[in-house]
Amino acid sequence: MSKINIPSENGDLMLTKSTRLVGLKKRIEGKDMDEVDANVIPDLGGFEVVTLNPGQSIDDALDHARNHQDVEVGTHVYFAEGDNRPVVATGIIYCEMADGVGKEERQVIFDAFALDILEDREDGTVVCKVTPKSPNPLKVAAALDKLSMISKAYPDLDVPLDQYFLEPRDGLLPHEWHLENQGFVSDVPSFRLKVGADAKVKAAWRRLGNLGSSSIIVAVIDNGFDLNHPDLRGKAVAPLSISSNSSTLPTGSAYGDHATPCSSVAVAAANGTGIVGAAPNSRLMPLHGLTYSKYLTERMFNHCVRNRADIISCSWGTIDPRYRPGTEHERAIRLALTSGRNGKGCVVVFAAGNEGREYINYYASIPGVIAVGASTSSDTHASYSNRGNGISVVAPSDGGWPILAARAAWDQGNSAMPANKRYYVDGIDRGQNYKHFGGTSSATPLVAGICALVLSANPNLTSVEVKSILERTADKIGNTWDYNSSGYSTKYGYGRVNADAAVAEAIRMRGGTTTTTTTTTPVTTTPPVTTPTTPTTTTVPRDTTTTTTTTPSTPTAPAPAPTTPMVTGTNLFQFSVTGQARNGYGLQVSVNNEFANVLKQVEELERKYSLPVLVNISTVNGRTAFKLLIGPFSTQAQADVAKRKMVSLGAAEPWLRPLSSL
Q: What was the pLDDT predicted at 623?
A: 60
Residues in Cβ contact with 24 at an 8 Å cutoff, skipping those fewer than 6 apart: 33, 36, 47, 48, 50, 65, 71, 73, 74
Contact criterion met (CB below 8 Å) for 287 and 255: no
Q: What was the pLDDT predicted at 519?
A: 32
Q: Is residue 464 part of a domain?
A: yes
Same domain, 612 and 577: yes
Query: Residue 289: which of 261, 314, 323 has the closest Cα?
Result: 314
Same domain, 374 and 408: yes
Phi, psi torsion values for 2, nearest 5 degrees:
-70, -30
Query: Residue 436: which of 180, 163, 175, 164 has the closest Cα?
Result: 175
Q: Is residue 52 part of a domain?
A: yes
Q: Is residue 525 part of a domain?
A: no
Q: Which CATH number fits the domain that encloses residue 167?
A: 3.40.50.200
Which residue among 142, 158, 174 closes a domain? 158
Phi, psi torsion values for 33, nearest 5 degrees:
-135, 140
Q: Is residue 531 part of a domain?
A: no
**Cβ count within 10 A of residue 554:** 4
Same domain, 154 and 166: no
Q: Which residues are catalytic?
A: 222, 258, 441
Q: What was the pLDDT predicted at 166?
A: 54
Q: Is residue 530 part of a domain?
A: no
What one-letter code names the amino acid at 281?
N
Same domain, 483 and 336: yes
Same domain, 262 and 319: yes
Same domain, 235 and 377: yes
Same domain, 169 and 154: no
Same domain, 203 and 217: yes
Which residue among 158, 175, 207 closes a domain? 158
**10-residue stretch averages of pLDDT, the chain, 662 residues long:** 80 89 85 84 92 87 89 92 90 89 84 93 91 91 88 92 59 64 81 93 92 96 97 96 96 95 96 89 97 97 98 97 95 97 97 96 97 97 96 96 93 80 82 91 98 96 97 96 96 98 94 40 33 35 34 35 42 73 86 75 85 81 74 90 87 83 75
Q: What was the pLDDT predicted at 290?
A: 93
Q: Is residue 518 part of a domain?
A: no
Q: What was the pLDDT predicted at 619?
A: 64
Same domain, 390 and 485: yes
Which residue among 158, 187, 209 closes a domain? 158
Q: Is residue 110 classed as helix, strand or coil in its secondary structure?
A: helix
Count: domains in the chain: 3
Q: Is residue 51 part of a domain?
A: yes
Q: What was the pLDDT predicted at 568?
A: 44
Q: What was the pLDDT predicted at 55?
A: 81
Q: CA triplet 35, 37, 42: central angle to 5 degrees? A: 100
Run of H or E including 259: helix 259-267
Q: How many Å separate Cα 410 from the centre of its chain?
A: 29
Helices (H) and strands (E) in the chain, counts: 12, 26
Contact criterion met (CB below 8 Å) for 171 and 423: yes
Same domain, 503 and 448: yes
Q: Is residue 148 part of a domain?
A: yes
239: containing domain: 162-513
Query: Residue 278: which of 295, 296, 266, 269 has the closest Cα?
Result: 266
Q: CA triplet 311, 478, 183: central angle to 5 degrees? A: 80
Same domain, 171 and 154: no
Same domain, 400 and 463: yes
DSSP state of 508: H
Query: Residue 618: which of 599, 581, 591 has the closest Cα?
Result: 591
